[in-house]
Amino acid sequence: MLLALDTATPACTAALFDADGTLVAEASEVMSRGHAERLMPLLDRLLDGRRADSILVGCGPGSFTGLRVGIAAAHGLSLGWGVPLVGMSTLALLAASLDRDGPVAVALVGGHGELFVQQFGRGLVPSAPVASLTPEAAAQVIDAPLVAGSGAAALVAARGHGEAVDALPSAAAALRLPEILRALPARPVYARAPDAKPKAA
C-alpha cells in the first residue's frame, strides 16, 4: 500500500492506495494552523491498523511550518516501518486535484506579497519551473486560462482575464501526477530565499 500526504497548505490531507493504485481511503481537514496536532490522529484513523509499503509526501512550496510537519511525520513513519519515502510537488498535486486535463496554473499566497506559481500543460507536465513572484510579475508569465489556489484571485486580477478557483490539494489525486513529479527527494521546496540573512563578517 502507498500512503500519500500533504500539509503544505491549509489542507491536512492524506490518502491510502493499494498496489494497483486503487484509492482505499482518504481523509482531509482544513485548518489555518495546528497541522502538528492533527496530522497523526488523522493518519491513525485513515490507516485503521494498516501500514503502508511506501510513502509519498508533499514537498511544497507552501506554509513553512505545515510543510515541515508533513515531511517530518513522513520521515518518522518511513523509519519506523522501514519503507521507502519520496516526495511530490504540492503545486502539481493541487493542479491534479482539479481533475482537468488542460493548461492550468497554480498560485499560492507566499510571503512578502509574492505568490508561489507554476503552470502545467496537458497531462500535468510543467511548462515552467516553480517561481515566487508578485501578482504583477506572475501575470506576465502565466497565461493558462484557469488559475487555482489561494493566490489565484490576485493573479487573475493582475492579469485582467481568466478564471480563478480557490482550491486546495487532495492527497487522493496523488497518482494522477506524472511520475517525475512524485519521485522527488523528500525535503522541503521553498521557492524563495529565507528571510533570515547571515551576519556580515
Neighbours of 123 (CB within 10 A): 10
Burial 152-177 (b: 16+ CB within 10 A, else e): bbbbbebbeebebbebbbbbbbbbbb
Q: What is the pLDDT of residues 78-132, one digit of tens each?
A: 999 999 999 999 999 999 999 777 799 999 999 889 999 999 998 898 988 899 9
> pLDDT digit string (tens) for 54-86?
999 999 998 888 899 999 999 999 999 999 999
**Fold matches, 2-90+169-182 and 99-165:** yes
Q: What is the CATH number of domain 2-90+169-182?
A: 3.30.420.40
Counted residue by residue, the chain has a size of 201
Cell triple for 112: 512578502
End-to-end CA distance of the chain: 51
Q: Where are the alpha helices (DSSP H) in the chain?
A: 35-47, 64-81, 90-97, 135-141, 152-159
Q: Does position 191 have pLDDT exceeding 70, yes or no?
A: no
Whose cell is 482537468? That residue is 100
CATH architecture observed for domain 99-165: 2-Layer Sandwich (3.30)
pLDDT at 197 over 60: no
Q: What single DSSP character describes residue 150?
A: T
Domain ranges (residues) in the chain: 2-90+169-182, 99-165
Cell of 163: 478564471
Angle subtended by helix axes 64-81 and 35-47, to nearest 10: 40
Q: What is the pLDDT of residues 21-50, one digit of tens each?
A: 999 999 999 987 888 899 999 999 999 999
